[in-house]
Amino acid sequence: MDTEITLVVDGVEHRLTVDTRTTVLDALRERLGITGPKKGCDHGQCGACTLLLGDRRVNSCLMLAVAYDGADLRTADGLADGDLHPVQRAFIEHDAFQCGYCTPGQVVSAVGMVREMREGEPSAVTPDAVDLADEVRERMSGNLCRCGAYANMIPAIVEVVR
């Protein structure tokens, strides 16, 4: 069954008709040509499809588009506000990617994570883990990098958190 919905992506309103089984990820990539969010696993396990829904980071491959009619979504392409977002700049300065496939999801997730930490969301790690890098590693564990670029990615994010 087809349904007409509106998705607001990076501040731009898109009206589209989708099959009720269409995910937000597929609606963006296949219907709207918005390819920043990537499809890795399509099962909520890799984080390549991460978007911000308001301030919250979400896996768009797990979201049915019809349930998000009118939703305000942000991709990595919509993070810059005239200048690069500090997370984007830190990724460049730290050379925090290899093939780059997971990078949009990593950057979006890091932006959401930095917000969570600044807003005082309880620690994700055990109380005896005092290292900020451990905290960031745990909070970013939903975003996988098959190249293993974590060695540069984690310091980039830690720099923004500080």
CA distances from 162 to 52, 107, 123, 157, 159 (A): 22, 16, 15, 9, 5
Candidate residues 5, 28, 48, 76; the one interacting with ligand FES per rule CB under 6 A: 48
- Annotate each residue in 49-88 with x if it binds ligand FES (CB under 6 A) or - if it does not, as one string: x---------x-x---------------------------
Candidate residues 31, 44, 124, 152; the one interacting with ligand FES per rule CB under 6 A: 44
Residue count (the chain): 162
Candidate residues 14, 30, 40, 132; the one interacting with ligand FES per rule CB under 6 A: 40
Candidate residues 9, 22, 34, 47; the one interacting with ligand FES per rule CB under 6 A: 47
Segment lying near ligand FES (by CB under 6 A), choices 35-43, 94-102, 125-133, 151-159: 35-43
Backbone angles phi and psi of 115, in degrees to 5: -60, -45
Q: Do residues 57 and 115 lie in contact, with contact meaning Cβ atoms separated by under 8 Å? A: no
Q: Do residues 47 and 145 lie in contact, with contact meaning Cβ atoms separated by under 8 Å? A: no
In angstroms, rounded to a whole number, what is the distance separating the alpha carbons of residues 55 and 12?
A: 17
Dihedral angle over CA of 48, 76, 99, 60, nearest 10: 10
Candidate residues 39, 72, 77, 152; the one interacting with ligand FES per rule CB under 6 A: 39
Candidate residues 5, 24, 46, 140; the one interacting with ligand FES per rule CB under 6 A: 46
**In the complex, which residues of this chain contact ligand FES (CB under 6 A)?**
39-42, 44-49, 59, 61
